[in-house]
Structure 1
C-alpha cells in the first residue's frame, strides 16, 4: 500500500521525537501513532540494564494514546536512531518486533504499519504482519 502525505508526516513526527529525546543507552527507538480522529501521539522506548524490563516505543505510544482517551488507531510507525559510532547517521523506519505486532493487533486489528521496503516505505495492515493470530475464545 503506497504512503500518503499524512504517513510521511507521521514518520517525521517519530523522527523528530527520537532526535529530540535520543540518549545513548536509554532511548534509541521512537514511535508515532495516528488515531482515526487524526490525532498524533509520539513516544520513545525505555531501555533498561536488564533487557526484559525494557519497553518498546510502540507499546508506550499506544498506552499514551489510550491514556488520552483514544482507542481507534489508524497508522503506527517506529524509527531507530543510529548508534553514535555508526558511519551512517540517518534515522530509519524499523519493523515492529513480534511482541509489538501482537500488541498492535490486540488494540487495532485494522491498524496500518509503516515499514521500510526494498526501495521505499510501504504500509501493511497489522494482520498481514501477524497472520493466523491466536485468538482467545471465552
Structure 2
C-alpha cells in the first residue's frame, strides 16, 4: 500500500473515534510530518458548541505539542457525498504551520478524493509576514 493510501486509511479510520454526540458529523484527519510521522485528529464536540474542536486542528495541536513544526501532507476525511472541505479556522491553522504549496487531500464517502493545497484552500492567507 502506498504511503498516501495509508494516510487516507488513517484519516478514514479516525472517523469512528470522533466525539460528535450533537451534530453526528464525524471528521477524521491524518497530518504527515516531513519525516513521515503521522498524527490522527478527530472532531471533538462540546455541549457549549464554541468549545468544540475540528479534526484538522486536533491533529495540528497534537503534532505541535510534540514539537513538530514541519509538515508535508494533510488528509481530511468525512462521511460526505463529495470530498469534505475544511472550515475557515482550520484553513488559517494550516496557513500558520504549512507551506502554501503543501498538498491537502480531501476525502468523501466511497473514497472519492480531491487534491488541493493549503493556498488553494486559503488564497491571500494572513501570515506572520502581514504583521
**TM-score normalised to structure 1 length:** 0.76
Distance verdict in 2 for CA 1:24–1:51, change over 3 Å: closer
Counterpart among 94, 97, 106 of residue 87 in structure 2: 97
Counterpart among 18, 21, 25 of residue 15 in structure 2: 18
Distance verdict in 2 for CA 1:132–1:29, change over 3 Å: same
What CA deviation, in whole Å up to 9, does each residue of 1:74-115 have, x standing for no partner?
111222257xxxxxxx9x752211111111111112332112
| Structure 1 residue ranges without an equivalent (≥5) | 83-89
Say if 2:31 and 2:74, in contact at 8 Å, map to a contact too: yes
| Matching residue of 1:123 | 115
From the two aligned structures, give the one with the greater helix fraction: 2
RCO comparison, higher one (Cα < 8 Å, 6+) = 1
| Structure 2 residue ranges without an equivalent (≥5) | none
Q: CA deviation at 1:5?
A: 2.8
Instruction: Say which one has the larger Rg.
Output: 1
Counterpart among 26, 29, 41 of residue 27 in structure 2: 29
Between the two proteins, the alignment pairs up a number of residues equal to: 125
SS at match of 2:46: coil
Instruction: Report whether the alignment pairs 1:108 with 2:104.
Output: no
What CA deviation, in whole Å up to 9, does each residue of 1:102-133 have, x standing for no partner?
1111111233211249x942321101111112
Pairing 1:74-85 to 2, within 5 Å after superposition: 74-81=72-79
Runs of 4+ aligned residues of structure 1 deviating over 6 Å after TM superposition are none
